Each structure stands twice: as structure tokens, then as C-alpha cells.
Amino acid sequence: MISQDKSNKILQLILFCIGGTIIISSIKAIETCGPLIYMITLGSIFGAVFGFFIGLAFDPQARRAWIISTAIAGAIGAPLSTLVSTFLIAMYIPVPVGLAVSGLIFGLIIGISQLIFTKNQFQIMWIWVPINSIALAAGFYIAFPLSRQFRIGYSACLSPGWTTVGAIAGLTYGIILGVISISFNIIHQLDSINDENSNASYR
């Protein structure tokens, strides 16, 4: 029988995977569908959804901070990473490399924004930003070659090809981020936060 602790960790990993897949697949699907303000708006919405899942995984009481921080990151990172990947690919940089660079930048923005707004949630702060950046870069690097195996189109807007790229990248990102976060207790669990608050109230 699975213990409560293991069940919680499995649930946390699932929430990371769902949130990561939603934000990245959605952004890749709509990245060429409209003007910059469209990308900023939808990037913030999808970012908020990802923040909701992280907050749900660890501390629902801090959910608002996770939602706000990731919404801001989505609004900034989605258009910026899209511009970077488009430019690099136009300069004949291999597609996986161009996507990986854009993922590195997007992950960096997500990590920094979350760290600023939710720093009291972390037991190990310094590692959060590089993990976000490397995990998303790795996800994008493997996503394009894998998506080609499905033989689907890469049209400009709502493309099944780019949506699949985003889904693979987001799932990979969620798995890496979730496994490392949970394994090394990078983010406080709700119980430990409550214990610290209780101890502080008795001082």
C-alpha cells in the first residue's frame, strides 16, 4: 500500500506535468496567431494556470503568489522566447537549438519571477532559477525531433505540429522540475510551513 507521503509526491509530480504541458503547448499553439498584445495576454493567462497548479501542489495558501508570479513570467517570457526562437531559426540555426535557447530564456524568466514573489516558499532558493531554465531548454531541445515522428503539419496558427512540440517540451519540463523539486525538497511542504509559523508564534 502506498504511504500518504508517496501519494502526495505522486500527486505533486502529476500537477507539475499538467501545468507545464498546459502552459507550453498552449503558447506554442497560439504564438503566431495574432499581434504582440495577444501573445502577452494569453501568455499571462496560461502562466497563471501553471502557477495555480504549482500552488495546488505545495501550498494552496500561497496559490495567489504562484499565480501572479507565473502570469507575469508568461506575459514577458512568451513573446520574448517566441521572438528569439523565430530569429534564430530564420538565421539558419538548427530548430532544436533555436528552441532550446528560447526555452532557456523563458525558464529563466519563470524562475526569477516565481522566486521574487514566492521566496518564502523555498528551502533551497538558489537552485530554482537554473532548474527552470535548464529543464525548459532540455524539453524544447528534444521536442521538435520527437514531434517529427508524428508526421503532422507545422502551419502558422494553431498548428498541430507546434502544439505537439509545446506539449512534449512542457511535459518534459514538468517532469524534470517536479522530480528535482520533490526529491530535494526545494519547495516547502504545507505542513512544514504551518509548523514554522506555529513555532514563530510561540517565540
The mean pLDDT value for 40-60 works out to: 90
Q: Which residue has the cell 532544436?
A: 96
**Cα-to-chain-centroid distance, residue 88:** 22
pTM summary value: 0.86
pLDDT tens across 156-192, in order? 777 888 899 999 999 999 999 999 988 888 876 544 4
Please report, rounded to a whole number, the percentage of residues in the chain having pLDDT higher than 90.
Answer: 55
Q: What is the pLDDT of residue 136?
A: 96
Q: Which residue has the cell 519571477?
A: 113
Residues 6 or more apart whose Cβ sits within 8 Å of residue 123: 185, 186, 187, 188
3-state secondary structure of 159: coil
Instruction: Give the Å distances, CA to CA, from 162 to 15, 44, 67, 143, 166.
Output: 22, 19, 25, 9, 6
Q: Whose CA is closest to 172, among 30, 57, 13, 48?
A: 13
Residue 126 per-residue DSSP state: T
Does 126 have pLDDT greater than 50? yes
The mean pLDDT value for 58-86 works out to: 91
Question: Using CA atoms, how far apart are residues 38 and 44, in angstroms rounded to an integer?
Answer: 10
Domain segments of the chain as ranges: 4-198
3-state secondary structure of 149: coil
When pLDDT is cut at 50, 70 and 90, the band that residue 133 belongs to is: very high
The mean pLDDT value for 39-56 works out to: 92
When pLDDT is cut at 50, 70 and 90, the band that residue 143 belongs to is: very high
Four-residue CA torsion sign, 24, 70, 187, 53 = negative
Which amino acid, one-letter code, is at 30?
Answer: I
Question: Using CA atoms, how far apart are residues 181 and 124, in angstroms rounded to an integer?
Answer: 9
The gap between the terminal CA atoms of the chain, to the nearest Å, is 40
pLDDT tens across 79-91, in order? 999 999 989 999 9
Q: Whose CA is closest to 167, among 31, 39, 19, 13?
A: 19
Q: What is the pLDDT of residue 189?
A: 58
Does 198 have pLDDT greater than 70? no
